[in-house]
Amino acid sequence: MGPKRAKPIAIMVALGVALPCLLLSRGSPSAADTASRVGLAGTHAPPLFDASYGYLTRKDGTWTYPDLRLRNGQIAPDGGLTPDVVIPKIEDSGSHFVKVGRESAPDPEVAPYYDELHNQTPPLELGVRLNVRPEPSRRTLPDLLKRARHLRRSPTGCTPAPSASPCYYDWIFLDGAMLRSTKGLQRLIRGLRSNGPDGGGGWRLIMTNDTGWPGQGTKLARGEWAHAHSLGILHKPWDRRRKRHVTAIIRHHPRRVITDSDQEFIHEVRKRDPGSRPVLKFEVHTGTDKLQRLPRRIQIRLLRELDHAQRGHHFKLIYPLFVGFAGGDRKEHCGGRTACNSYNSLRDSPSFARKLKGQGTYLAQRRLMLSDGTP
């Protein structure tokens, strides 16, 4: 892999996720922002610089998700997103927090690439998704804390980056958080912060997926690094009429790309969990599927307007560089199909033939992330 990119000012995920996400204005974080308390945690919340999704496939084209390998030896859509393609693009993107893992430590083929990302100067901070939905029953609090300890401490003897033996993951992204009770979610956050024998591994950087707030009725947890919510502009069902409406907003009313619901979420994060970071993101896969169905120039315009809005509305955005393959039993995530394509910022069309020529939205996202000069 080539050397780490040079950034205008020293460099940034956690999901991480830090996410994005994710301070809260362009340029260096203020002293007040950096020193803000993270709710009940009573600690200082680290800055959340530019964050992105950075999923990749193995060299044979199958996705690195342990439970989403395609059947019958089929190759996943965009199977060309192998480490040799994706890792240099992540390194060069300007992203600092990168959500790369799902539920488990990387397999032996992928682990060296995680080490490479950690060995950048400064090191990238890698995030892992943990499904904390209360069902099935194995996702009890003790089971989740046991899994989180494993994710935090694998490989054995590792220490957070930068170090001679960095852990695979630096931050954790809790998916399905709003499906737990308010008290149950708060107990989980406290457990994850605990580094005792029954704790979750002493995670300092915890981000929840709060999509579903406020409809689910669960209150936002306190003591988090960041709270993430899907973008309101892409919430509604997607048909031709809705697509035209969204396109018209992006083209003619760019200030409306941040919706009232987005602003309500940002306000609630500030009120409920002072010092934590509000994050807006493209929901995977409902939001990223909608994004990739827009014309390329409209996608770039939307990303540009969202990037600009971060300063005025005080949130951070998770940039959709490379989003993993979706499939399995949850067909609602794929519009009724058994599988849906990943979002690939290098791709300009369904064909992946020109993946290395800077097509798609990658170069635009890179310019946006590098332009703020952080960290």
Q: Is the pLDDT of residue 314 over 80?
A: yes
Mean pLDDT lowest for which of 4-8, 151-155, 254-258, 299-303?
4-8
- pLDDT above 90 covers a percentage of the chain that reads 51
End-to-end CA distance of the chain: 22
What pLDDT is stored for residue 53 in this prediction? 95
Spatial separation of the C-alpha atoms in residues 274 and 314, rounded to whole Å: 13
Name the more confident of 208 and 285. Answer: 208
Average predicted confidence (pLDDT) for the chain = 80
What are the sequence ranges of the domains in the chain? 31-371
CB atoms within 10 A of CB 190: 16
Which of 61-65, 233-237, 343-347 has maximum average pLDDT? 233-237
The string of pLDDT tens digits covering residues 135-147 is 877 789 999 999 9
What pLDDT is stored for residue 67 in this prediction? 52
What pLDDT is stored for residue 29 in this prediction? 36
What pLDDT is stored for residue 162 in this prediction? 75
Residue holding tokens 């019958």? Answer: 72
Residue 358: pLDDT band (50, 70, 90) is very low
Q: Is the pLDDT of residue 6 over 50?
A: no
CB atoms within 10 A of CB 156: 7
Mean pLDDT lowest for which of 12-26, 87-101, 215-229?
12-26
Name the CATH code of domain 31-371 (choices 3.30.420, 3.20.20, 3.40.1400, 1.10.760).
Answer: 3.20.20
Backbone angles phi, psi at 312, to 5 degrees: -75, -30
- State mean pLDDT over 273-300: 92
Q: Is the pLDDT of residue 181 over 80?
A: yes
What pLDDT is stored for residue 276 in this prediction? 95
What pLDDT is stored for residue 255 in this prediction? 94
Q: Is the pLDDT of residue 18 over 70?
A: no
Q: Are 116 and 73 in contact (CB under 8 A)?
A: no
What pLDDT is stored for residue 356 in this prediction? 39
Spatial separation of the C-alpha atoms in residues 56 and 90, rounded to whole Å: 10
What pLDDT is stored for residue 256 in this prediction? 97
What pLDDT is stored for residue 352 in this prediction? 42
What pLDDT is stored for residue 284 in this prediction? 87
What pLDDT is stored for residue 225 in this prediction? 97
The string of pLDDT tens digits covering residues 228-284 is 999 999 998 889 999 999 999 999 999 999 999 999 999 999 999 999 999 999 998
What's the pTM?
0.82
